[in-house]
Structure 1
């Protein structure tokens, strides 16, 4: 396995993970229209990124189509934790849940951004125009996801945290 394939695989996983997280946040915070609509749009970007990564990966002997390499049961464990917290009466306020979700999205976008940067650096060093074009096309959208989560955290945290 080459350095390029390692980064492509990690990036594909990260974009699929980001897509699912954004879709879940959009659904959980449906009443917050800006959150719902923007997260839905940003999830489409991650889906497009993952598709483009899978397509580019074939040239390096990787088959990433349709597959996700998530840990089995990850969603199930989250649901069990949430139900257990409800039953015990420790369910956080919706505002705190929103802040937690935005923080999680921000960290995922940061990780993806780092992988895009590593891919671009590899592509430059290896004179790989295909990977450089892929990174140049997708990384700016990941940076936009990162800026959106940061802006939303700055916007909602003062009101949520001072109302506790």
Structure 2
């Protein structure tokens, strides 16, 4: 046995998680149309990555779950947010956006590292299909990283100095 199934599972879970986070953040910040549209667009990349990983995993005797339905907000989250607003604990929308961008950036960073590990193990195992998969998908993950980083750099000064 080798570590390919381990990396594939971690990458699959990471891409599904990032997709959910992006869609949830787009919904939370629907008043920011530029953010919302881009977040939904790059969430599609993570969705496609997860689908491709699912197909690639079959040849490594690994069965991964199929595509996710859009995330549903659970009742506990709704109650927590409602109570938070009622007692005045709701941070300013700009600070929430920065927190979401930070979390998205960290999730994309984790996926980027997993893509790199997959490329390295695929190269060592001479698995050209997995190497091609990593070469196709990793650049989009790097673009997700650049987008979150640019948004953080752009928004941080104006939002954090106005507190």
TM-score normalised by L of structure 1: 0.91
Partners of 1:138 and 1:67 lie apart in 2 by 17
SS of the equivalent of 1:89 reads coil
What corresponds to 1:136 in structure 2?
135
Aligned length: 160
- How large is the RMSD of aligned CA atoms in angstroms? 1.9
Q: Judging changes above 3 Å, is the alpha-carbon distance between structure 1 residues 9 and 151 closer, same or farther for their aligned structure 2 residues?
A: same
Q: Distance in 1 between matches of 2:64 and 2:75?
A: 23
- Asked whether the 8 Å contact 2:51–2:67 carries over to 1, the reply is no
Residue in 1 that maps onto 2:84: 85
Match runs of 1:3-42 below 5 Å = 3-42=3-42
Contact 1:51/1:65 (<8 A) preserved: no
Instruction: Answer with 74-83 or 118-127: which moved more.
Output: 74-83
1:31 Cα deviation after fit: 1.6
For normalisation by structure 2, the TM-score amounts to 0.91
Deviation at 1:91, TM superposition (A): 0.5
Q: How far is 1:25 from its partner?
A: 1.1
Do 2:50 and 2:67's aligned partners in 1 also have CA atoms closer than 8 Å?
Answer: no
Q: Name the CA distance, whole Å, in 2 between partners of 1:77 and 1:125.
A: 46
CA distance in 1, matches of 2:48, 2:161: 38
Q: Distance in 1 between matches of 2:21 and 2:90?
A: 20
The residue correspondences of 1:33-52 to structure 2 (distance < 5 A) are 33-52=33-52
Contact preservation (8 Å) 1:102, 1:153: yes
State how far apart, in whole Å, the 2-side matches of 1:87 and 1:62 are.
47
C-alpha distance in structure 2 between counterparts of 1:108 and 1:148, whole Å: 13
List, as ranges, runs of 4+ consecutive aligned residues in structure 1 with deviation greater than 6 Å. none
- 5+ residue gaps in structure 2? none
Shift of 1:34: 1.1
Q: How does 1:59-138 map to 2 (within 5 A)?
A: 59-66=59-66, 78-138=77-137
Quick check: 2:112–2:141 contact (8 Å CA) kept in 1? yes
1:53-64 to structure 2, matched below 5 A, reads 53-64=53-64
1:105-140 Cα distance to aligned partner (Å, 9 max, x none): 000000000000000000111111011000000000
